């Protein structure tokens, strides 16, 4: 079929929705994003940060209690060796998928809309993986012996069991974490340079300067940077798919009915992307509102992510139904019983909560209105967050609570320590994310600038556009406003001048005083 845009020259080319709305200029972007880091935080930041720190303390306390007393402080029992701990691990590691997916896969596929959300999503990934790592590391009976998992040659002469999916898991997660961290950091370097250049205090200058690794923005540096970023993106891309596949092997390679399923790797990856995007939206929608980033993270972004949620949610739904189908079609009594127990057994409510949250609720995203209504998006994302947690709970707990021998069946209930540990990881996650917002540019400044129409070498500014000195488009502002702005600017300038004068004066004074002493 012929392209409608070319077949009929009289039809205008459908313009792409701009990725940065309101025609914001480069300097506006710099100011806006660096301003978050440079200015005082809104009160809300503190209202979120303080409870987060308290929860971090709770987490620390719970973990100290766990390690000092024994895994018994949790609710695990004999059929259910893994309870909330591994549920939470898979939950967090799943969340940690969206970030690298956005920054690596979408980078390779030239999805330019990724630029506005990539940085924060990646940060989220790293923090989520940190939260995730806590659980497998500390759920073991003897935490102090956890180094047995590392392939360190030791006096015992015993190596790890390379057949164990749990070991692959350790390698996969740690690789994912280190590559993600590197990828994130490399992506940060140009912006760290920017922050360093804009820094007004010595400490900031030193700190950002240290981490900017001497970034000057020269042509060669950009070339190297681009190549490094591309390579890392290529390296991360398979990792995005492998980590959750490997996590799913923990279950898929076992013989437990309900775990032993070949659909798990793709299903887990889809689920992870699904949950990850929901978490990105959960974080970005409020952040965009608080910091006034609506022009950078636009309805278009939310729309795109909602579509991905719709797609992956439907894949997940397919997997759920396929699991049920295979259980019936496979004719394996134990498998059938596992799914009967899931859907009608003791934990049936978890199954239906999962099904509703993950499969039914995202279906509203078929409608554009829903994708564009922030509240609807937020609510669905919340459902998805909860639903993905339930999914892991359903998979892990219902399967082992009732497996082969009815004589060994027992049910599992989390203890308070377990619940608070999970809540505590939210504190850690939120706290780290808030610190990230406070100290690092939450949107990749240089990348967003790159998607501005003006960045196109062939860009011809419309004649009607004129910029003032600060880069604001004049035609968007009334003259009066511009005038008042000028006045304001003058005022600040004089203020600054007087401030610096005073400072130098006091400095001189102290200097002379010192001399006298």
Partner 1 sequence: MFRSLGELESSPSFVAKLEREFPRGAAEFDKDGDKDSVSRRSFMRYMGASTALAGIGLSSCRRPVAKIVPYAGSVEWMVPGKAVYYATAMPRLGGATPLIAKVYEGRPIHLQGNSLHPGSAGCTDSFAVASILDFYDPERSRSYKSGRGKESKVVQPEEFWEQFDLKKKEWADNKGKGLAFLHGSNTSPTLKNLANQVFEGLPESGFYEYEAVERQGMDKAAASLFGKGAVTRYRLDKAQRILTIGCDFLGVDRITDGATSQFSKGRKVESINGNEDIGPMNRLYSVEHQYTVTGGMADHRMPMKVSDQYPFLIEISKEIASLTEDNNLKTLVSDKKTNLSLDDESQKWIKEAANDLYANKGKGVVVAGTRHDQAMHILCLAINNALNNIGNDKPLQIVEGMPSESGSINELAEAITNDQITTLIISGESDPVYSAPAELNFEKLLDKVETIIHLGVRDLCSTARASDWHVPGSHFLESWSDVRSSDGTYSIIQPMIAPLFDGVSDIEFLLRLINDESSEEVKDPAQMAVKSTHADVSGSASENAWNTTLRNGFLKDSQFKMLEQELDYAAAKDGLEKVSPSSDVKGFEIVFTTDSKVWDGRHINNGWLQEIPDPITSLAWDNAALVGIPTIKKLAKAEGLEWDKKDLVIEDKAHLIKVEMEDGRSGYFPLLPVYGHARDSISISIGYGQEGAGSIAGTPQGDSIWSYESDTGDTTGFHFYPLRDTNSSLFGKVKSVKLVTEEVELRPGLKTKTYPIAITQEHFLMEGRALYRDGTKEEFDKEFKKSEKAHKEHPGHEHLSSFQTRGMDSHIPPNQAVYRGQDKEKLIEDKVQQWGMSVDLNLCNGCNACTIACQSENNIPIVGKDQVIIGREMHWLRMDRYFAPNMEKDDHDHYASVDEDLENPQFMPQPVSCSQCEAAPCETVCPVNATVHTEEGLNAMAYNRCIGTRYCANNCPLKARRFNFFDYNKRPLDQLYQGPLSEKDKTGVAPSLKLQKNPNVTVRMRGVMEKCTYCVQRIQEAKINQKRIARDSNDVKVPDGAIKVACQSACASDAIIFGDISDKNSTVSKAKQSPRNYEILKYLGLRQRTTYLARIKNPNMKMPNAKQVGTVSKKLH
Containing 293, the helix (H) or strand (E) segment is: none
- Which tokens go with 418? 């377990």
For the chain, give the longest Cα–Cα distance: 95
Whether 306 and 371 have beta carbons less than 8 Å apart is answered as yes
| Residue closer to partner 1 (CB basis): 413 or 497 | 413
Please report how close the Cβ of residue 204 comes to partner 1 at its closest, in angstroms. Answer: 43
Judged by CB under 8 A, the number of residues near partner 1 is 61
Residue recorded with tokens 């340079």:
193
Please report how close the Cβ of residue 181 comes to partner 1 at its closest, in angstroms. Answer: 23
| Residue closer to partner 1 (CB basis): 405 or 460 | 405
Is residue 69 within the footprint of partner 1 (CB under 8 A)? Answer: yes
**Near partner 1 by CB under 8 A, which window of 3-11, 17-25, 253-261, 354-362?**
253-261
Residues 396-435 that bind partner 1 (CB under 8 A): 400, 403-413, 415-417
| Residue closer to partner 1 (CB basis): 12 or 407 | 407
Is residue 360 within the footprint of partner 1 (CB under 8 A)? Answer: no
Residues 314-333 that bind partner 1 (CB under 8 A): 331-333
Q: What are phi and psi of 291, to 5 degrees?
A: -95, 5
Whether 36 and 291 have beta carbons less than 8 Å apart is answered as yes
Between helix 264-290 and helix 374-393 the angle, nearest 10°, is 140
- Residue 473, beta-bridge partner list: 467
| Residue closer to partner 1 (CB basis): 253 or 473 | 253
Is residue 252 within the footprint of partner 1 (CB under 8 A)? Answer: no
Please report how close the Cβ of residue 389 comes to partner 1 at its closest, in angstroms. Answer: 19
- Per 3-state DSSP, what percentage of the chain is helix, strand, and coil (rounded to 5)? 75, 0, 25
CB atoms within 10 A of CB 43: 8
How far apart CA 83 and CA 401 sit, in angstroms, is: 10
Please report how close the Cβ of residue 98 comes to partner 1 at its closest, in angstroms. Answer: 28
Is residue 79 within the footprint of partner 1 (CB under 8 A)? Answer: yes
Binding mask 169-198 for partner 1 (x = CB under 8 A): -x----------------------------
Core vs surface per residue 240-254: b (16+ CB within 10 A) or e: bbbbbbbbbbbbbee
Residue partners of 339: CB distance under 8 A and separation at least 6: 258, 323, 324, 327, 328
Containing 108, the helix (H) or strand (E) segment is: helix 106-108
Residues 149-168 that bind partner 1 (CB under 8 A): 149, 156, 158-161, 163-167
Among 256, 360, 382, 482, binds partner 1 (CB under 8 A): 256
Please report how close the Cβ of residue 166 comes to partner 1 at its closest, in angstroms. Answer: 4
Residues 439-478 that bind partner 1 (CB under 8 A): none
Among 81, 286, 450, 471, binds partner 1 (CB under 8 A): 81
Question: What separation in angstroms does the CA of 399 have from each of 244, 301, 306, 345, 346?
Answer: 19, 38, 31, 11, 11
Among 72, 238, 461, 462, binds partner 1 (CB under 8 A): 72
Is residue 148 within the footprint of partner 1 (CB under 8 A)? Answer: yes
Please report how close the Cβ of residue 140 comes to partner 1 at its closest, in angstroms. Answer: 5
Whether 274 and 10 have beta carbons less than 8 Å apart is answered as no
Among 16, 78, 491, 503, binds partner 1 (CB under 8 A): 78
| Residue closer to partner 1 (CB basis): 23 or 345 | 345
Question: What separation in angstroms does the CA of 84 have from each of 54, 135, 197, 394?
Answer: 21, 9, 46, 11
Nearest to 106 by CA among 10, 183, 220, 2: 183
| Residue closer to partner 1 (CB basis): 352 or 409 | 409
Cα–chain center distance at 214: 28
Please report how close the Cβ of residue 79 comes to partner 1 at its closest, in angstroms. Answer: 5
How far apart CA 413 and CA 76 sit, in angstroms, is: 7
Is residue 146 within the footprint of partner 1 (CB under 8 A)? Answer: yes
Nearest to 418 by CA among 56, 57, 59: 59
| Residue closer to partner 1 (CB basis): 79 or 96 | 79
**Near partner 1 by CB under 8 A, which window of 68-76, 120-128, 351-359, 452-460?**
68-76
How far apart CA 121 and CA 103 sit, in angstroms, is: 8
Question: What does the binding site for partner 1 look like in residue numbers (CB under 8 A)?
Answer: 65, 68-73, 75-82, 136, 139-143, 145-146, 148-149, 156, 158-161, 163-167, 170, 250, 253-256, 331-334, 337, 400, 403-413, 415-417
């Amino acid at each position: 079929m012929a392209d409608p845009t070319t077949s009929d020259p009289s039809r205008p080319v459908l313009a792409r929705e701009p990725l940065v709305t309101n025609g914001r200029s480069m300097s506006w972007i710099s100011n806006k994003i660096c301003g978050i880091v440079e200015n005082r935080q809104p009160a809300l930041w503190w209202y979120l940060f303080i409870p987060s720190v308290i929860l971090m303390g709770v987490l620390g306390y719970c973990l100290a209690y766990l390690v000092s007393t024994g895994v018994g402080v949790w609710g695990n029992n004999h059929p259910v060796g893994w309870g909330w701990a591994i549920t939470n691990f898979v939950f967090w590691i799943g969340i940690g998928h969206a970030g690298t997916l956005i920054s690596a896969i979408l980078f390779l596929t030239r999805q330019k809309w990724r630029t506005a959300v990539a940085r924060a999503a990646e940060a989220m990934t790293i923090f989520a993986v940190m939260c995730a790592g806590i659980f497998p590391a500390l759920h073991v009976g003897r935490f102090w012996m956890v180094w047995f998992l590392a392939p360190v040659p030791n006096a015992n002469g015993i190596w790890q069991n390379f057949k164990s999916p749990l070991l692959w898991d350790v390698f996969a997660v740690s690789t994912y974490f280190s590559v993600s961290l590197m990828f994130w950091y490399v992506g940060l370097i140009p912006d760290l340079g920017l922050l360093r250049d804009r820094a007004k205090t010595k400490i900031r200058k030193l700190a950002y300067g240290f981490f900017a690794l001497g970034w000057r923005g020269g042509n060669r540096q950009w070339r190297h940077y681009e190549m490094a970023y591309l390579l890392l993106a290529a390296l991360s891309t398979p990792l995005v798919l492998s980590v959750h596949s490997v996590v799913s092997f923990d279950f898929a390679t076992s013989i437990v009915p309900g775990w032993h399923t070949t659909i798990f790797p793709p299903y887990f990856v889809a689920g992870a992307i699904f949950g990850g995007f929901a978490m990105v939206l959960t974080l970005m929608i409020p952040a965009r509102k608080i910091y006034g980033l609506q022009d950078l993270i636009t309805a278009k972004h939310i729309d795109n992510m909602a579509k991905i949620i719709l797609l992956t949610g439907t894949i997940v739904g397919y997997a759920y139904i396929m699991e049920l189908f295979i259980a019936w079609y496979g004719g394996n009594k134990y498998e059938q019983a596992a799914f009967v127990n899931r859907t009608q057994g003791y934990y049936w409510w978890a199954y239906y909560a999962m099904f509703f949250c993950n499969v039914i609720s995202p279906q509203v995203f078929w409608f554009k209105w829903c994708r564009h209504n922030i509240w609807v998006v937020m609510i669905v994302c919340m459902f998805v967050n909860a639903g993905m947690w339930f999914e892991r709970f359903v998979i892990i707990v219902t399967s082992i609570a009732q497996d082969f021998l009815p004589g060994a069946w027992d049910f599992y209930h989390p203890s308070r320590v377990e619940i608070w540990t999970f809540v505590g990881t939210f504190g850690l996650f939120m706290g780290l994310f808030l610190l990230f917002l406070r100290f690092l540019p939450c949107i990749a400044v240089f990348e967003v600038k790159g998607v501005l129409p003006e960045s196109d070498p062939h860009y011809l500014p419309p004649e009607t556009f004129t910029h003032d000195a600060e880069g604001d488009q004049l035609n968007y502002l009334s003259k009066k406003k511009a005038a008042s702005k000028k006045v304001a600017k003058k005022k600040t300038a004089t203020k600054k001048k007087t401030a610096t004068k005073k400072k130098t004066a006091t400095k001189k004074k102290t200097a002379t005083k010192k001399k006298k002493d």
